[in-house]
Structure 1
Amino acid sequence: MSRRMPPMETVGMALTTLRTNRLRSLLTMVGIVIGNASVITLVGVGRGAQGLAEEQLSNLGANVLFVVPGNNDTRRRGVAFPRTLVLEDAEAIAEQVPSVKRVAPQISSSQVVQLGARSSTSSISGITPEFLPVRSFEVSKGRFINAEDVKAARNVAVIGPDLAAKLVPTGSVVGQPLRIGNQSFQVVGVMAPKGAVFGSNQDGNTYIPISTMVTRLTGRDPTYGISLSFISVEANDESSTSAAKFQITNLLRQRHDILRDDDFAVRSQKDALSIVGTITGGLTLMLAAIGGISLLVGGIGIMNIMLVSVSERTQEIGLRKALGARSGDVLQQFLVESLVLASLGGAIGTAAGLGTIALVATLTPLPASIGTSTVLMTVGLSGSIGLFFGVVPARRAAKLDPIVALRSL
């Protein structure tokens, strides 16, 4: 009676076979290596993009709301926002909403700024002094716009650090004349670095009094109402955010005489984080699916090579069976070979993916990273794929008739 081969002996024979055919084994693992590296890298980069977006949004402040003009239909269609918000709306929010601490109206446009022979395109924001605490910005040099600047509509400007470096590479920019459009301004301050918010670099912006923006740059007559780009609102604290949002919505509906179809929207950091999380989560899932396809292709490659191996090793299989090996032993050996190829390829691919993630995190702003559970799951998945796609070749090898196999000797 034939005896069952000990598992360790089966593993030893499988490893010996793989070492004997090193080149074939390496080429068979390529698909799994690429698949695993793709999954690890793509998921890590996807999580990095999500982390970067959340980090930028966290700079806005947990208790900051944004009131933007336009209704839901215009936002969905990508139509430019109609100017439905006016300065009086911002003043009403500050005076009548008890859950609100500060309000910062803003008008924005893009223009060329020039200092001496150097010029650059900058986002020009007409703001009030409340902008600084509401948006958690800081001034690194000089001062910020104050109430007297707004009241007198002075031609003063505060610029971002990137813009300051472009216009004055060496020396101080504070006190120097700055030309915006056909108006001359004096630089009174430079902002501290802030980075990107909503994909826009805040360090290249220019800030001027909102009254100056209206009367000198936009040419609007303030007696007919000052149309705003948006209103930043700081709630009393994070727990007051929902109440502030509700109260602002009701107040503006009354002021705009709206029964339905708001011509504005109130957005919080949580709303933005939810949208970003949905988008980046879907993106990460899609990237993982692409990497999964690569793993699937690698599994098919293992099956094909193992089928070829069965055909080439017909004599070996017949001889083993003639010497007493059972069909289960042959089945086990081929499954072990497939498992070793897939697991080893998965480990190599995982190492390559982790290396790529580290490189991305070092060379780019993306904080690319991946959890230990995802790494273990990916390695386990590659091993499972090896077992799954190794079943067909293993069963074919196990079913070979030793007599028929030995005739090929």
Structure 2
Amino acid sequence: MDTWESFKMAGKTLAANRLRSTLTMLGIIIGNASVILMVGVGQGAQKYASQQFQSLGTDVIFVITGTDNARRNVIAPPNRLVLADADAIAEQVPTVRSVAPQINGSELAIAGNNTKRATLIGTTDSYAIVRNAEVGSGRFLSNDDIKRNARVVTLGAAIAKELFPQGNPIGQLIRIRGTSYEVIGLMSEKGAFLGTNQDDTIFMPITTMTNQLTGRTSPYGVAIQVINVSATSNDNVDAAQFQIANLLRLRHRSTDMNAEDTFTIRTQQDALEIVGNITGALTILLAAIAGISLLVGGIGIMNIMLVSVTERTQEIGLRKAIGASPSDILTQFTIEAVILSLLGGAIGTGIGISGVLLLSVVTPLQAGISIGAIALAVGVSGGIGLFFGIFPARQAARLDPIVALRSI
């Protein structure tokens, strides 16, 4: 019997037992759909995180006060960077384009009868340039505001809606710790980033925040938590990072050059690599968990095929009696198992792709359709069908035709 004839006979047999064939394929369908969908989710998460970081600016460098080990000390947290450090970086590092020092806080903001706790950032006019922040209306903080210690603020989109739900906030007053501040601008919506709503932020001149709220918390000057720096170009990020580190080491180590750094420098690329590694590992984990369904589906195919061999003992005996060889029987049963796997893989692929497209529509994740994941899932499902179909097929091929015919 030729291979084409074996395919035709296998197809007729599977068509005659539609319910059993469908249930047999179910594990493969679920497995393929799960693998494709989970890989799509993982890749979508990678793209989303990358876009969120890039929206902050690809040439941004963050100089953070303290080291990772020192920041774990909750009893005496480090407070080493000062405003003079930011000024020194701006003046002495040639590969730096803009510098924006930053003081963080959390305060209750009051506007009329509306009260909202918001993140408070004291910074300079360079912040909008370094962090790629866009003003929706009004204006951001200016250099004159910094020099005059002006009592002005620029609101994030979310906090503006909370405090002024009925109208335009520009020109209105808000109160923080009993002091009134004029709203001079409204930032464009930027959304959440790493669990923090960037629109739920109030920006204030760093001098005003120091004089009105935080005070002088370091004997060496105005203490700050972060220095936001933008390099002159993406190609100069590494050079700027090296030059900033050397400058701060000179400023912070007057005598002991072997002392530990009192700061940490991070770049956008560092953050992207960390997020990429995390989401990549999660993608592999999700795909591996989903791949278990393929294994279960393969075992289901073997079980059903073994049952099929028992049910078709008479058919096998008759075919052998009229001249079918063991290889013909082996080929037919193997083809049936492979057809079930490949057909289930194709249906599962269609469901998985549909799920990925639906996910892209209803969520912010730009889930991608991975050709590699599709090829791997379909190839694995076909291989599973072949692997788990061999044993039942050999069982059928080894049946003694005399014993099989006795059951007629």
Match of 2:132, SS state, is: coil
CA contact (8 A) 1:69 1:81 kept: no
2:26 to 27, 30, 40: 30
2:207 to 207, 211, 214: 211
Name the CA distance, whole Å, in 2 between partners of 1:54 and 1:181: 38
Structure 2 residue aligned with 1:385: 384
Name the CA distance, whole Å, in 2 between partners of 1:75 and 1:408: 80
Structure 2 residue aligned with 1:302: 301
Which amino acid is 1:186 matched to? E
Q: Does 1:144 align with 2:140?
A: yes
Judging changes above 3 Å, is the alpha-carbon distance between structure 1 residues 9 and 78 closer, same or farther for their aligned structure 2 residues? farther
Q: CA deviation at 1:46?
A: 0.5
Structure 1 residue aligned with 2:115: 119
Q: Structure 2: where are the runs of 5+ without partners?
A: none
Structure 1 residue aligned with 2:190: 194
Could you report, residue by residue, the CA deviation over 1:272-291 in whole angstroms, capped at 9, with x for unpaired residues? 11111111111111111111
1:6-405 map, 5 Å:
6-74=2-70, 82-220=78-216, 224-257=220-253, 258-405=257-404
Could you report, residue by residue, the CA deviation over 1:294-333 in whole angstroms, capped at 9, with x for unpaired residues? 1111111111111111111111111111111111111111
Name the CA distance, whole Å, in 1 between partners of 2:268 and 2:119: 22
CA contact (8 A) 1:215 1:221 kept: no
Name the CA distance, whole Å, in 2 between partners of 1:7 and 1:336: 9
Name the CA distance, whole Å, in 2 between partners of 1:382 and 1:82: 56
Match of 1:144, SS state, is: coil
Name the CA distance, whole Å, in 2 between partners of 1:76 and 1:305: 58
Q: Structure 1: where are the runs of 5+ without partners?
A: none
Judging changes above 3 Å, is the alpha-carbon distance between structure 1 residues 81 and 366 closer, same or farther for their aligned structure 2 residues? farther
Name the CA distance, whole Å, in 1 between partners of 2:43 and 2:187: 30
State the identity %: 53
Could you report, residue by residue, the CA deviation over 1:25-72 in whole angstroms, capped at 9, with x for unpaired residues? 111111111111110111100100000000011112221111112213
Name the CA distance, whole Å, in 2 between partners of 1:263 and 1:293: 48
CA contact (8 A) 1:128 1:209 kept: yes
- Alpha-carbon RMSD across the aligned residues, in angstroms, is 1.9
CA contact (8 A) 1:48 1:366 kept: yes
CA contact (8 A) 1:214 1:222 kept: no
Judging changes above 3 Å, is the alpha-carbon distance between structure 1 residues 47 and 90 closer, same or farther for their aligned structure 2 residues? same
Match of 2:333, SS state, is: helix
Which amino acid is 2:15 matched to? R
Judging changes above 3 Å, is the alpha-carbon distance between structure 1 residues 46 and 79 closer, same or farther for their aligned structure 2 residues? farther
Could you report, residue by residue, the CA deviation over 1:185-241 in whole angstroms, capped at 9, with x for unpaired residues? 111100122233344221221100111112212244677522212111011111111
CA contact (8 A) 1:112 1:119 kept: yes
Judging changes above 3 Å, is the alpha-carbon distance between structure 1 residues 79 and 277 closer, same or farther for their aligned structure 2 residues? farther
CA contact (8 A) 1:66 1:231 kept: yes
Name the CA distance, whole Å, in 2 between partners of 1:79 and 1:196: 30
What is the TM-score with the length of structure 2 in the denominator?
Answer: 0.95
Match of 1:107, SS state, is: strand
Q: CA deviation at 1:152?
A: 2.0
